[in-house]
Amino acid sequence: MDLGLADRTYVVTGGSSGVGLATVRALLDEGARVATCGRDAGRLTRIGAHERLFTGVCDVRDADAVRDFVAASADALGGRIDGLVNNAGQSRMKRLDETTADDWRDELDLKFAGVLHPLHAARPYLRAADAAAIVNVNAVLAKQPEPRLITTSAARAGILNLSKSLAVELAADGIRVNSVCLGLIDTGQWTRRHAASGSDRSYEEWQAELAADRGVALGRLGRAEEVAYAILALLAPRASYITGTSIDVCGGVGRGIL
Ligand SMILES: NC(=O)c1ccc[n+]([C@@H]2O[C@H](COP(=O)([O-])OP(=O)(O)OC[C@H]3O[C@@H](n4cnc5c(N)ncnc54)[C@H](OP(=O)(O)O)[C@@H]3O)[C@@H](O)[C@H]2O)c1
């Protein structure tokens, strides 16, 4: 099936690694034009050059930098933006008693800025597009909090709630807003944790134990490409009646009904 993404322009934040990188590659494979950003210029070069790709160094917490990046993206890629994937970020592995006031502020700032700054910057372009869509990359933690990720769980719940409000608010502009809620996906986040754990088990053994410990029904971590597939499905103009909802991409770790 042709997803109808070709010749459209998409902005994906945090495209130098993991889920963002897989999404950038999948969109390019579909013939779309893609802009992406990250904080580290060196990591962005890993994507490789492509005539339909624009990259920029920017931190999603910096509203001015995001506005400049989004405007430069539209200038470089046909003067339009058809969709936005708010993906940049990371989680904070801390329990209540390890969490400082700065941790709370920083986590809420990253999660909310990561959605609101790109949205405000891209909104004029999205309003002008004929099939505009936003996908917020979230986590099953939003619906199933984990005390070991206390700030991230709370911030994720807030973002899921915000996504609902945005779906209603932006419907009049013809902009759909949906979320993907991730379980454990094999990306830089987990290779970094394996390295930091000091474990003498191989990454593969460590991952299998992690999946069993967290009760992942499919018994393994997900692949970034498996998330990208769901993101593209929600971005696609054919998904024109889908807004205000979320898809869990979690291998069955989510036990909630909603
Ligand atoms: N992997 C999982 O198991 C999992 C589970 C639930 C939710 N998620 C969420 O899914 C998203 C992608 O995660 P991932 O696992 O693919 O992570 P990743 O491999 O660590 O990639 C994160 C990407 O975001 C960029 N980034 C991080 N902070 C940024 C900032 N402040 N401004 C701009 N770019 C920033 C990184 O580049 P720079 O470091 O160069 O900035 C990188 O390109 C994140 O929001 C994460 O919290 C992941």
Which atom of ligand 1 is least distant from the CA of 113? 31
- Lining ligand 1 with CB less than 6 A are 13-20, 37-40, 43, 59-61, 87-91, 110, 137, 139, 182, 184-185, 187-189
pLDDT at 256: 78
pLDDT at 224: 98
128's tokens: 């002008």
Note if the pTM is more than 0.75: yes
Q: What is the pLDDT along the chain (258 residues), one digit of tens a residue?
A: 999 999 999 999 999 999 999 999 999 999 999 999 999 999 999 999 999 999 999 999 999 999 999 999 999 999 999 999 999 999 999 999 999 999 999 999 999 999 999 999 999 999 999 999 999 999 999 999 999 999 999 999 999 999 999 999 999 999 999 999 999 999 988 999 899 988 999 999 999 999 999 999 999 999 999 999 999 999 999 999 999 999 999 999 977 776
Expressed in angstroms and rounded, the spacing between residue 89 Cα and the centre of ligand 1 is: 4
Expressed in angstroms and rounded, the spacing between residue 150 Cα and the centre of ligand 1 is: 18
Pairing of strands 83-86, 53-57: unpaired
Q: Which amino acid is at 187?
A: T
Which atom of ligand 1 is least distant from the CA of 19? 16
The Cα 131–Cα 243 span in angstroms is 12
pLDDT at 258: 67
Strands (DSSP E) contained in the chain are 9-13, 33-38, 53-57, 83-86, 132-139, 175-182, 185-186, 222-223, 246-249
Expressed in angstroms and rounded, the spacing between residue 238 Cα and the centre of ligand 1 is: 27
Rounded to 5 degrees, what are φ and ψ at 133?
-145, 145
Name the residue of 12, 19, 216, 247 whose CB sits within 8 Å of the most ligand 1 atoms, as the mutation to test its pocket.
Answer: 19
106's tokens: 């920083």
Q: Taking a C-beta distance cutoff of 8 angstroms, is the pair 221, 207 a contact?
A: yes
The Cα 116–Cα 74 span in angstroms is 18
Cβ density class 126-140: b for 16+ within 10 Å, e for less: beebebbbbbbbbbb
